[in-house]
Amino acid sequence: MSVFNLIKSRVSIFDVINEYTTLRKAGNYWKSRCPFHHEKTASFTVSPHKDIFYCFGCHAGGDVISFIAKVENCGQHEAVQFLADRYNIELPKTSEGSEVSMKQKQQHFDIYQAVAEWCNSQLTKHPKVLKYLHNRQIDQELIDQFTIGYFPGGLGSVKKLLSAVHENSILADDLLETHIISQGKSVLFSPFEDRIIFPIRDHLGRFCAFGGRTFKPEDTRPKYYNSRENDFFQKGSLLFGLDTAKKAIQKSQAAFLVEGYTDCIAMVKHGHPNTIATLGTACTLNHLKLLSRYAPYLYLLYDNDTAGEKAILRLTQLCWQANMELKVVQLPAGQDPASFLQAGNDLAPRIDAAQDIFAFFIERLGSDFSMAPLTEKVSKIRQIIEIITLIADPLKQDILLHTASQAFSLPFETVKDELKRHLKGADSSSKSESKPAESPSIQEPSILEKRLFCAILNNIELFDTQNDNYVIEQFGEPLNNIAKKLLISKEARSPFEFDFFFDTLSANEKDTVSKLLVTYDEFKSESAYYKLLNEFQKKRWKQIVQSITAQLTRAHADGDQKMIDRLLLSYKNLKEKVVPALAQNHTEEGNS
């Protein structure tokens, strides 16, 4: 049994999904509002007897592993591990190479978690550090939520750490390999010593790195020190606080992005649990794509200084590639979110007045435009035009062009003409390239085909693979390919296992099968199966005959007498069933 089937046999899809959304009974299924997109009516459907789900709104579907992979934004194997950890399921050993890799990854997470918990326990032993956090309005609830800690200074601190983590079978070499400690000339030390520790967790809540912050006025070291990047920690794809913020982000359909740990914690403290922070680096396209899976809106709260403004301008050139609308929340000069909120200010009016990032970009480039040299003016206008051409919505293009014309004190038609020239140039360039061959049109399967497919799937033991394969050949795509995989699974496993078949499908095919099974109630019924099969044979009789004739031609050319005999017998049996029924229908139509 594969690990996928093991997990699905041990966990209930109903129980798992019910933790993320409230399911209510609806006939043979359970329904709720979709956890993947905002909707007012329940279009998300779960079929416990088939262990699948499907949303008729966003068209997501699959099994319990597909659900976790989508809702937790992780891969299939990570979803398996996630479920195994949550339900205490011991997974079988895999191949040696992958086993070592998974073991190393888990060991990395375990080491950082053990050290994070030790640092957290040190706070009660150092009242001055705890007082500093409380003065920054970081109370015990926030300390617990983010597992904030302190790495004491002094020669004895590393020894105490080694003694504490040794209980978890973690050795000095393990801490050296993860760069939590380093080897000096004669002693071991840590770059995190005498720093407040902000553990960095991935979106699944696994500890993978640290951010260490100085807090003493006399400390002249850089304010922040982050763990080194490695195979299990990449700053450009991780966001601080996402593991605890993701549900609030999905619920509100919006996220707040800030620049630092303390800004993120301050936002959470003041009623914005849907806040995340970058890890001392610029926001990347990977960050935006990750967040776009959770919500369509992102509010940027960067420091109101030159560096913060430049960061926002860089994002303007990236955000069109992610399916997200970015807005800029402007703070008073010299303030960051933490200082603004801790001073007792209300952020709500500034959120309401948030500016579209493209409008912000245009406004900033337009400042001091009249005083700029001519070459700089032309450069700024063309920079704006290049950004606007990336926007697909013509109405939004015109709105931004109007904003640009006002910012640059130019007639609207002038900037509009410049956009047309830019688009015309791009269009002629694309036309000069070779035109790709048009893909053949794909015939959408009919309702009868979909119903018959579901009937075959639910009554697979009745399907005669020797004589009924012509049915599969008549299915449109993607049903044709899915049905072929169904027959392969039927031959490979006796008795037939739905989970084994489902695991052979691609993500899109899983969506298709999930939708069909929750749309058409073709349950296990011999009479219903044969009724649908006969109806299909009558409707597709001419095509079936053509298909059998083509197969006979190939069999004759190959000299395959067994295939010829089988096809002739199949045709004879079909003709005896279908032709009289067709004749009867013709007679009834004539009499009427």
**Domain 3-86 part of CATH 3.40.50.300:** no
In this predicted structure, the answer to whether residue 397 has a pLDDT above a threshold of 90 is no
Structure tokens at 400: 């931004």
Rounded CA gap, 209 and 357, in Å?
A: 31
Structure tokens at 463: 């399907």
The answer, yes or no, to whether the previous bond of 199 is cis (omega within 30 of 0) is: no
* H/E segment holding residue 33: none
Q: What is the 3-state secondary structure (H, E, C) of 366-419?
A: HCCHHHCCHHHHHHHHHHHHHHHCCCCCHHHHHHHHHHHHHHCCCCHHHHHHHH
What average pLDDT is seen over the chain? 84
Matching CATH number, 96-233, of 3.90.980.10, 3.40.50.1860, 3.40.50.880, 3.40.50.1000? 3.90.980.10
Query: Coil, strand or helix: which one is 32?
Result: strand
Rounded CA gap, 288 and 304, in Å?
A: 21
**Chain centre distance of CA 218:** 44
Q: What is the 3-state secondary structure (H, E, C) of 157-189?
A: HHHHHHHHHHHHCCCHHHHHHCCCCEECCCCEE
Structure tokens at 503: 């695991």
Task: Count CA atoms closer than 13 A to 295's CA, side-chain side.
Answer: 23
Lowest average pLDDT, out of 203-212, 361-370, 437-446, goes to 437-446
Instruction: Report the relative pairing of strands 297-300 and 254-258 from DSSP bridges.
Output: parallel
Q: What is the dihedral of CA 314, 315, 319, 322, to 10 degrees?
A: 110
- pLDDT band of residue 589 (cuts 50, 70, 90) is very low
The answer to whether 450 and 520 have CB atoms below 8 angstroms apart is yes
Lowest average pLDDT, out of 132-136, 183-187, 437-441, 562-566, goes to 437-441
For residues 380-386, average pLDDT:
81
From the list 506, 378, 387, 518, the residue with the least C-alpha distance to 450 is: 518
- Which residue did the predictor score with more confidence, 274 or 374? 274
In this predicted structure, the answer to whether residue 415 has a pLDDT above a threshold of 80 is yes
Task: Count CA atoms closer than 13 A to 288's CA, side-chain side.
Answer: 23
For residues 263-287, average pLDDT:
92
Rounded CA gap, 306 and 275, in Å?
A: 23
The answer to whether 511 and 62 have CB atoms below 8 angstroms apart is yes
Instruction: Report the relative pairing of strands 182-183 and 44-47 from DSSP bridges.
Output: unpaired
Structure tokens at 328: 């800029």
Could you check whether 96-233 and 238-353 share the same CATH topology? no
Quick: pLDDT tens for 315-359.
877 776 777 889 999 999 888 999 999 999 999 999 999 998 888
pLDDT of residue 185: 83
Quick: pLDDT tens for 519-572.
887 667 788 788 888 888 778 777 777 777 877 788 788 888 887 877 777 777
For residue 468, the 8-state DSSP code is -
CB neighbourhood size of 518 (10 A)? 23
The answer to whether 176 and 182 have CB atoms below 8 angstroms apart is yes
- Which residue did the predictor score with more confidence, 102 or 51? 51
The answer to whether 18 and 46 have CB atoms below 8 angstroms apart is no
Per the DSSP assignment, residues forming a β-bridge with 323 are none
pLDDT of residue 466: 65
* Domain ranges for the chain: 3-86, 96-233, 238-353, 371-428, 447-591
Q: What DSSP assignment string belongs to 301-324?
A: ---SSHHHHHHHHHHHTTGGGTT-
The answer for 368, left when phi > 0, alpha when psi is -120 to 50, beta otherwise, is left
Structure tokens at 358: 């493209």
- Which residue did the predictor score with more confidence, 39 or 188? 188
Structure tokens at 83: 């479920």
Q: What is the dihedral of CA 418, 422, 425, 427, to 10 degrees?
A: -120
Helices within 19-95 (DSSP H only): 64-71, 76-86
**Which phi and psi angles does 522 have, rounded to 5°?**
-90, 80
The answer for 29, left when phi > 0, alpha when psi is -120 to 50, beta otherwise, is beta
The answer to whether 150 and 217 have CB atoms below 8 angstroms apart is no
The answer to whether 337 and 308 have CB atoms below 8 angstroms apart is no
pLDDT of residue 244: 93
Rounded CA gap, 106 and 339, in Å?
A: 38
The answer to whether 503 and 58 have CB atoms below 8 angstroms apart is no
Query: Coil, strand or helix: which one is 588?
Result: helix
Lowest average pLDDT, out of 113-127, 175-189, 288-302, 529-543, goes to 529-543
Lowest average pLDDT, out of 109-113, 402-406, 436-440, 471-475, goes to 436-440
Rounded CA gap, 438 and 537, in Å?
A: 32
The answer to whether 89 and 6 have CB atoms below 8 angstroms apart is yes
In this predicted structure, the answer to whether residue 428 has a pLDDT above a threshold of 70 is no
Q: What is the 3-state secondary structure (H, E, C) of 261-299?
A: HHHHHHHHHCCCCCEEECCCCCCCHHHHHHHHCCCCEEE
Per the DSSP assignment, residues forming a β-bridge with 225 are 212
Instruction: Report the relative pairing of strands 254-258 and 224-226 from DSSP bridges.
Output: unpaired
Query: Coil, strand or helix: which one is 209?
Result: strand
- pLDDT band of residue 96 (cuts 50, 70, 90) is very low
From the list 236, 233, 255, 235, the residue with the least C-alpha distance to 244 is: 255
In this predicted structure, the answer to whether residue 108 has a pLDDT above a threshold of 60 is yes
For residues 196-200, average pLDDT:
97
Rounded CA gap, 558 and 104, in Å?
A: 55
Amino acid symbol at 48: P
pLDDT of residue 179: 93
Lowest average pLDDT, out of 9-18, 287-296, 551-560, goes to 551-560
Query: Coil, strand or helix: which one is 39?
Result: coil
In this predicted structure, the answer to whether residue 429 has a pLDDT above a threshold of 50 is no
Q: What DSSP assignment string belongs to 67-123?
A: HHHHHTT--HHHHHHHHHHHTTPPPPP--HHHHHHHHHHHHHHHHHHHHHHHHHHHG
Amino acid symbol at 80: V
The answer to whether 46 and 13 have CB atoms below 8 angstroms apart is yes
Can you name the CATH fold of 238-353? Dna Topoisomerase Vi A Subunit; Chain: A, domain 2 (3.40.1360)
- pLDDT band of residue 302 (cuts 50, 70, 90) is confident
- Which residue did the predictor score with more confidence, 5 or 467? 5
